Every structure is written in C-alpha cells, then in structure tokens.
Amino acid sequence: MPRTIGYHLVFSGYGLWLPGDWRGAWSEAWDAQIGFHEPHVLHPDDPVRLRIAQERMAHPPVRLDEEMIRAVESSLRECEAHSDWRIFAASVEITHAHLLLTYTERDIDKTIKWLKDRTTKAVHESTRHRGPVWCKGHWCGFVFDVLAWRNAVAYIERHNERRGEGPRPYAFVTVEED
C-alpha cells in the first residue's frame, strides 16, 4: 500500500449539504441490532431524504460571515502551531472550508474532530453565533503522491483566487519549496 503523504479535508457548513442533496450525500444508516445497514451509500437527488433531513434540523443553515471566517482562520493557525502536521493549502469560504494537511501519526478522524471543535469554539468566543458551525461528518481524501498533492494545492488555491484573495491569503499556510 502506498505511503500517505497528506490529507485533503473538506468541512461543510451546518445544514448546507444534507442527505438527498442533488450533489449526492453519503449515508451511514445505523440500526441498533444489525449495525450499519447502509454503509457509505451515495444518494444523489432524493427529495424525500432531503425533506426529512431539513425537518430534523434543530438550527438554521450556517453561512460563515467575515467575522466567523476570521475566527476559523485564527483557530486554524493556533491548531497548527500545536500539532505535528502542517497546513500546505487552505480556503475558508462562506459555505465550506478546504485544508491540505501533511501526514500525521495521529488518528486523522480524531484530528478532524479536534479541528472542527476548536474552530467552532473560536466562532462562539469571537462572534454572536451560538449554534453548530459545521455539519456532521467531513470529507477526507488521502494523498499518496506528489502529483495528487500538487493538484490538491492548485484546487484549493483556485478557491481563494475565485474570491479575489490570491492563492495563499493565510500567513499560517506553509510555503512549499520546489
């Protein structure tokens, strides 16, 4: 098996990518007696699932405003400073965030949970927002080679450029040496 060199992470804002969404959503339906009975099944464009998910939402959907985005960025800088991994690309947008992290010996799912918890706390401490910030779950792509790594960097940088901020608007992002 190839060696993991990093991770491309995506966190979506709470309520913005629900099961049944036209883009598709992964299901992990759980039953107490049989366990996962629908593990990792993709359900694109399912209006019934979407309606049910919307009815179950306890809070309104979250779109990050500038103040919330700054809190997330500040928290990411602090998290990286206390970690064995580095952020090589980042984009924090109103609906979601992308991060490209170097490999860590730590459990990546626990690391992601920690990042989401810390950024949520930062938003709560710095803004008036008190509800959830991120949706349940995340997307984590494992990166195994330099070409995939560079493609992920370029993809994330394009998100920043689309917003008119330049490819690397964050001082905490590690600059890759050629």
Please state the three-class secondary structure of the chain as a single string: CCCCCEEEEEEEECCCCCCCCCCCCEEEEEECCCEEEEEEEECCCCHHHHHHHHHHCCCCCCCCCHHHHHHHHHHHHHHHHCCCCCEEEEEECCCEEEEEEECCCCCHHHHHHHHHHHHHHHHHHHCCCCCCCECCCCEEEEECCHHHHHHHHHHHHHHHHHCCCCCCCCCCCCCCCC
pLDDT tens track for 33-81: 655 445 555 666 778 877 887 888 899 999 999 999 999 999 999 999 9
Nearest partner of 120 among 11, 7, 17, 18, judged by Cα: 11
Report the pLDDT averaged over residues 16-32: 63
Neighbours of 133 (CB within 10 A): 23
Percent of the chain with pLDDT over 70: 84
pLDDT at 57: 83
Tell me the average pLDDT of the chain: 87
**Measured between alpha carbons, how far is 43 from 48 in angstroms, rounded to an integer?**
11
Which residues fall within 8 angstroms of residue 59, CB to CB, at 6 or more apart? 14, 15, 131, 132
The model's pLDDT over 68-102, given as tens digits with 9 standing for 90+, comes to 999 999 999 999 999 999 999 999 999 999 999 99
Cβ atoms of 43 and 49 closer than 8 Å: yes
Domain annotation for the chain: domains and CATH numbers:
6-15+62-162 (3.30.70.1290), 26-56 (no CATH)
